[in-house]
Amino acid sequence: MRIIAGTFRGRTLTAGQGLALRPATDRARQTIFDILTHRIDFDGLTVLDLFSGTGSLGLESLSRGAAHVTFIESSRASVDVLQENIRRLQCEDQCTVYQSEVFRFLRSVGRSYDLVFADPPYGLPDLAKIPQAIEEAHVAKPGGYVIMEHPTSIAVAFSTDRYRVTTRQFGQTMVVIAECSSP
């Protein structure tokens, strides 16, 4: 798994040995960032990477100019892999890593971000509740984006009163790109 573009372009990330991680595929990441690049300027953005795993989405954002990424991951082993990837890229001063269950974090976060990624484990029992938790936490700034990957077998809905939604399908994976229009 490699960083696609920017200052870390071509740098390799580790997925760890024997971990049940499902990093965003290169094809999905490429499409996500192609779409975002036509809509936003990454320079100076604040990013929230929920279910961060290896950190590939947040680290790709840093590579393209984001100022800071907050990573949320519940697994200690995955946090170790994430921290190794951050060390490899020598971007520790631009990253904050929390080992926390995502829904618990969202209930207490108290701030908003320009870009929010949610790439949950496909077997997560409450996967369909993620958009509502994100909306209730007000973690996306007006004009900001929420990007969520999920299996096509699970219906996921963002409020159309609050978000302008675009979707892309890659086999059994659906990518939702939701632009936040109001607080």
* Structural domain that includes position 129: 26-101+120-174
Residue 97 included in any domain = yes
Counted domains in the chain: 1
Confidence of residue 25 (pLDDT cuts 50, 70, 90): low
Q: How far apart are the first and last CA of the chain?
A: 35
d(CA 94, CA 49): 13
User: What pLDDT digit, counting tens, does each position of 48-79 carry?
Assistant: 999 999 999 999 999 999 999 999 999 999 99
Residue 159 in domain = yes
CATH of the domain at 133: 3.40.50.150
Return mean pLDDT, the chain.
91
Residues 6+ apart with CB under 8 A from 90: none
- Structural domain contains residue 41: yes
